[in-house]
Structure 1
């Protein structure tokens, strides 16, 4: 990991993901905050310090891709790793074309996530 920790925000409506993923990301040296919804993230102080995002694609309310578009609209280009339980290569292709760093299908391995963080510039 870089000498200064990268701040990663996890946005996923699945409580088990919000509990497990931060521990894994911390083991890679990141500082982490987890949010249950896009609105919760947008209304937090994390918006200004987030350097990488791990976003679920399908969430109630604003979806992960919609959140990413909202951040771009606000002028925030945050490297984004999407995660999803729905294996759809067309969705993955579209997200990657739209600028996502990676789109991982659940279940993914620790190494898959670590590699995606490297691609995002959030891990060595």
Structure 2
């Protein structure tokens, strides 16, 4: 849990109603991240698959994507690559319960801004999202 002081600093630094999309086939993880994002004042939408996210009418309004790496159908890395190929450069944070250095490296080479291994702390996730929301998204968080 974020301490109140950290939460106030975070909330003051982030524009409200910024849209964060969460794509994860694990419902409990998806809903937990969505709840955290909303508690911090973000607009948040959650999807159980990459295909569901790709048909989301507000896809272009998404400021940051948090996606699981391993999902049935399209993986999180493939989703990021598909978005880039479609000209939709959404800063992406990949999360996984099955860390793999090759996938991590491929993700950063493809332009993701963060890679977290489950379980991760709220602080680590928020650090990645803060990085994703920076103008230009130049930094990355290689957790």
Taking structure 1 as the reference length, what is the TM-score of the superposition?
0.91
CA RMSD of aligned residues (A): 1.4
Task: Work out whether residues 101 and 119 of structure 1, in 8 Å CA contact, stay in contact via their aligned partners in 2.
Answer: yes
Unaligned runs of 5+ in 1: none
Q: Looking at CA atoms only, which structure, 1 or 2, has the larger radius of gyration? A: 2
Structure 2 gaps of 5+ residues are 1-12, 135-143
Q: What is the distance in 2 between the residues matched to 1:69 and 1:90?
A: 15
Aligned to 1:48: 60
More helix by share: 2
Higher-RCO chain (CA-CA 8 Å, sequence separation at least 6): 1
Contact 1:9/1:46 (CA < 8 Å) preserved in 2? no
Q: Distance in 2 between matches of 1:43 and 1:69?
A: 16
Matches within 5 A, 1:1-124: 1-121=13-133
Number of equivalenced pairs: 122
